[in-house]
């Protein structure tokens, strides 16, 4: 069982609609939680990063939330665009000198016109 | 320059071939990474170099051999691969190896082993 679980596995929405992706984690010791966007066949690009004490972070139409008590995070996308079609990966970065990270399996988002 | 450049973009190789994947960054980052990513799966860490020394090897088979000739370059030498090694190979770099250092990913090399 992955220590970083994302839901849903895939999602289809119409252009202009909002959506929310979920990430629950059990891995520790927690340092940061980062959301990446990965277009098909390309490398992931960081969208947001949050530490233990931050509970919301925005990057344009992307807003991430973090509840460190319940170990849950969400990524909210507002007014979706066709270019938002991608895989969204939740990554928990560990508070160790090795700086290792645990990746979620990702949510595949498809935005249709 | 905030790019991590990987070459080639695509590679098809036979099981008896020897090939190399290359990765380059000029951001002054001192940590560099190789990841393997299968379709619809997250990237899996293979190797980490910190200050040009191998710091993490995630029990990767010896048919994959990393090399860090200098602080800007990272190679992955491939020999006697299997078809199941076909995947997207991603290189990443970060300022350091500690927490809260953002990893910048390259575009990846799509490898097909035939």
- What is the model's pLDDT at position A41? 85
Neighboring chain B residues of A108 at a CB cutoff of 8 Å = 40
- What is the model's pLDDT at position B2? 65
- What is the model's pLDDT at position A101? 84
Is the pLDDT assigned to residue A94 strictly greater than 90?
A: no
How close does chain A come to B17, measured CA to CA in Å? 24
Nearest to B1 by CA among B30, B22, B35, B25: B25
DSSP tag of B84? G
What six digits make up the tokens of B22? 């290359």
DSSP string, B29-85: --EEEEEEE-TTS--EEEEEEETTEEEEE-S--TTEEEEEEETTEEEEEEES--GGG
Question: A90 — contact with chain B (CB < 8 Å)?
Answer: no
Question: A103 — contact with chain B (CB < 8 Å)?
Answer: yes
Nearest to A33 by CA among A13, A54, A18: A54
CB contact under 8 A, A51 and B100: yes
Neighboring chain A residues of B100 at a CB cutoff of 8 Å = 31-32, 49, 51, 93
**Per-residue pLDDT tens for A24-68?**
999 877 778 999 999 988 899 999 989 888 899 999 999 999 998
Neighboring chain B residues of A52 at a CB cutoff of 8 Å = none
Helices (H), B6-113: none
What six digits make up the tokens of A80? 């979706």
Is the pLDDT assigned to residue B110 strictly greater than 70?
A: yes
Give the strand pairing for A62-67 and A56-59.
antiparallel
- What is the model's pLDDT at position A7? 96
Judge residue B48's burial from the number of C-beta atoms within 10 Å of its C-beta, 0-12 exposed, 13-18 middle, 19 or more buried: buried
Is the pLDDT assigned to residue B1 strictly greater than 80?
A: no
Considering CB atoms only, which of A31, A49, A100 is closest to B102?
Answer: A49
- What is the model's pLDDT at position A97? 58
Is the pLDDT assigned to residue B103 strictly greater than 90?
A: no
CB contact under 8 A, A101 and B56: no
- What is the model's pLDDT at position B62? 95
**Per-residue pLDDT tens for B60-75?**
999 999 999 999 999 9
Is the pLDDT assigned to residue A72 strictly greater than 70?
A: yes
Neighboring chain A residues of B106 at a CB cutoff of 8 Å = 43
Question: A25 — contact with chain B (CB < 8 Å)?
Answer: no
Alpha-carbon distance A54 to B98, whole Å? 19
**Per-residue pLDDT tens for B2-45?**
699 999 999 999 999 999 999 999 999 999 999 999 988 899 99
Q: How confident is the model at residue B84 (pLDDT cuts 50, 70, 90)?
A: very high
Alpha-carbon distance B5 to B20, whole Å? 14
What rounded mean pLDDT belongs to chain A? Answer: 91
Neighboring chain B residues of A43 at a CB cutoff of 8 Å = 4, 90, 92, 105-108
């Amino acid at each position: 069982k992955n220590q970083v679980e994302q839901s849903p596995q895939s999602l289809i929405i119409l252009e202009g609609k909002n959506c929310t992706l979920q990430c629950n984690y059990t891995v520790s010791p927690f340092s940061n939680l980062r959301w990446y966007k990965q277009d098909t066949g390309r490398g992931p690009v960081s969208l947001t990063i949050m530490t233990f004490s931050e509970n919301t972070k925005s990057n344009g139409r992307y807003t991430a939330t973090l509840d460190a008590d319940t170990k849950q995070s969400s990524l909210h996308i507002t007014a979706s665009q066709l270019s938002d079609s991608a895989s969204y990966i939740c990554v928990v970065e560990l508070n160790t000198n090795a700086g290792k990270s645990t990746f979620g399996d990702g949510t595949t988002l498809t935005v249709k016109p | 320059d905030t790019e991590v450049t990987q070459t080639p973009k695509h590679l098809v190789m036979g099981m008896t071939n020897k090939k190399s994947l290359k990765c380059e960054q000029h951001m002054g980052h001192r940590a560099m990474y190789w990841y393997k990513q299968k379709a619809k799966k997250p990237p899996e860490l293979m190797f980490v170099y910190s200050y040009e020394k191998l710091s993490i090897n995630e029990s990767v088979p010896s048919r994959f051999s990393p090399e860090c000739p200098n602080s800007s370059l990272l190679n992955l030498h491939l020999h006697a691969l299997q078809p199941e090694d076909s995947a997207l190979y991603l290189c990443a770099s970060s300022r350091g190896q500690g927490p809260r250092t953002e990893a910048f990913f390259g575009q990846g090399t799509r490898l097909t082993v035939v």
